[in-house]
């Protein structure tokens, strides 16, 4: 599978989860708006950095002359995106793990919790008429997708 095909697949599942045509951006925005995600989920910052990078790569390929999968991507990029998609489907992605960690019994909270005031991103400002989607809705959506897939198989 090519980088663009893998990215489209990830974009589609994120778009369905957030009811937003900019699915990966919505996922990134939710990560950015999640306080202390890195304190609860191992690899949080790395995943966020990779998602931002691959969104940038996709935009370069789509909009910049001379940019193509051949000169912008390697096989590892496709593997990472496919793996992240699988993690979403298995409810093991950063936002799902964060939700589990925050809601599970006996979780010790980080020593220093600071409330960061987040300014809306350009993407969030464009979608002011939409109601925010929280982790609970996300979890329900993922579970419904898994149930539908298991019924098809």
Q: Is residue 11 part of a domain?
A: yes
Q: Spell out the alpha helix ranges (H) of the chain.
A: 3-18, 23-32, 37-40, 44-63, 69-72, 75-89, 94-103, 122-126, 135-152
Chain segment 14-71, per-residue pLDDT in tens: 999 888 888 999 999 999 999 899 999 999 999 999 999 999 999 999 999 999 999 9
Residue 40: C-alpha distances to residues 43, 100, 103 (Å) = 10, 9, 11
Q: Is residue 111 part of a domain?
A: no
Q: Is residue 32 part of a domain?
A: yes
- Domain containing 60: what range? 3-104+119-152
Q: Is 109 helix (H, G, I), strand (E, B) or coil?
A: coil
Residue 29: C-alpha distances to residues 76, 81, 125 (Å) = 24, 18, 11
Q: Is residue 78 part of a domain?
A: yes
Q: Is residue 109 part of a domain?
A: no
Residue 103 contacts by C-beta under 8 Å, 6 or more apart in sequence?
A: none
The interaxial angle of helices 75-89 and 135-152, nearest 10 deg, is 100
Q: Is residue 21 part of a domain?
A: yes
Q: Is residue 98 part of a domain?
A: yes
Chain segment 112-135, per-residue pLDDT in tens: 333 333 444 445 445 444 445 566
Prediction pTM value: 0.67
Counted domains in the chain = 1
Q: Is residue 113 part of a domain?
A: no
């Amino acid at each position: 599978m090519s980088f663009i095909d893998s990215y489209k697949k990830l974009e589609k599942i994120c778009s369905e989860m957030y009811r937003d045509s900019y699915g990966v951006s919505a996922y990134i925005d939710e990560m950015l708006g999640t306080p202390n995600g890195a304190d609860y989920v191992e690899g949080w910052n790395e995943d966020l950095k990779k998602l931002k990078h691959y969104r940038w790569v996709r935009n370069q390929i789509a909009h910049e002359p001379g940019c193509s999968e051949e000169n912008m991507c390697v096989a590892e990029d496709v593997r990472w995106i496919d793996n992240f998609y699988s993690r979403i489907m298995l409810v093991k992605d950063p936002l799902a793990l964060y939700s589990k960690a925050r809601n599970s019994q006996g979780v010790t909270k980080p020593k220093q919790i600071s409330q960061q005031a987040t300014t809306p991103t350009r993407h969030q400002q464009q979608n002011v008429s939409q109601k925010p989607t929280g982790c609970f809705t996300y979890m329900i959506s993922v579970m419904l997708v898994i149930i539908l897939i298991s019924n098809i198989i």
